[in-house]
Amino acid sequence: MKILLSLTVVAASLFGNLVHAADAVDLKVGDKAPTFEALDDTGKPWKSSEHVGKKIVVVYFYPADMTGGCTKQACGFRDKLGDLSKKGIEVVGVSGDTVASHVLFKQEHDLTFPLLADTEGKVATAFGVPVTPGEKKVTAKFKTGKEEVLIRNVTTARWTFVIDKDGKIAAKNTKVAAAEDSQAVLDAVEKLAK
């Protein structure tokens, strides 16, 4: 009886993993990008339907505000925003951090593009980006000398997508080098133009 019960538990576990794997999204270049909505750093809904089709939209997923690699990635986009805008590109960052955390992150690093609070990982899941559930609290010190506790409910992998004006995935990067991501996006868009 114990052996049968153990086999049933193992089979259920394997079956559950297979179902989950079969349900996982695997967007490829040329696929239609998912339509999504999340609160931005002003607390207002940011709807992809209001942006996709008007410009090329870069959706970059990152693990956490105020961490080394994520800061380099965000500042890279900030520093290249002029070049990106000239090519008709709009940038939006997405993480599991809260709106309040995004506000502090943007202020600390003078970020000038929207950050979306994907606190349940729904946007990441729609793009097939791996999501790790579990609340994390990080104490961050700011240039003002003030310390704040930043709360994140889910942690996403660092992936970047470029959505063309037709609403299709034009580029997908699952092995993002944080500091070089903005240049990689520029290079990808230049290749698309050829």
Domain contains 22: no
Give the C-alpha separation, 88 to 56, whole Å: 6
Mean pLDDT of the chain: 87
pLDDT tens, position by position, 147-176:
988 889 899 999 999 999 999 999 999 999
The residues assigned a catalytic role are 70
In a domain, 21, yes or no: no
Whole-model pTM: value is 0.86
Residue 62, judged by CB atoms within 10 A of its CB (0-12, 13-18, 19+), counts as buried
Q: For 27-49, what is the mean pLDDT?
A: 97
Q: How many domains does the chain have?
A: 1
Q: Is residue 75 part of a domain?
A: yes
Domain of 52, CATH number, reads 3.40.30.10
- Closest listed residue to residue 36, CA positions, set 117, 130, 112: 117
Q: What is the pLDDT of residues 85-131, one digit of tens each?
A: 999 999 999 999 999 999 999 999 999 999 999 999 999 999 999 99
Residue 131 within a domain: yes
The answer to whether residue 1 is domain-embedded is no
- Which structural domain, as residue segments, surrounds residue 145? 27-193
What's the mean pLDDT in 57-81? 96
CA distance 172 to 185: 10
What letter would DSSP give residue 33? P
pLDDT(55) > 50 = yes
Which residue type, as a one-letter code, is found at position 160? T
Q: Does 98 reside within a domain?
A: yes
What residues contact 113, with CB distance under 8 A and at least 6 apart?
Answer: 77, 78, 81, 90, 91, 92, 93
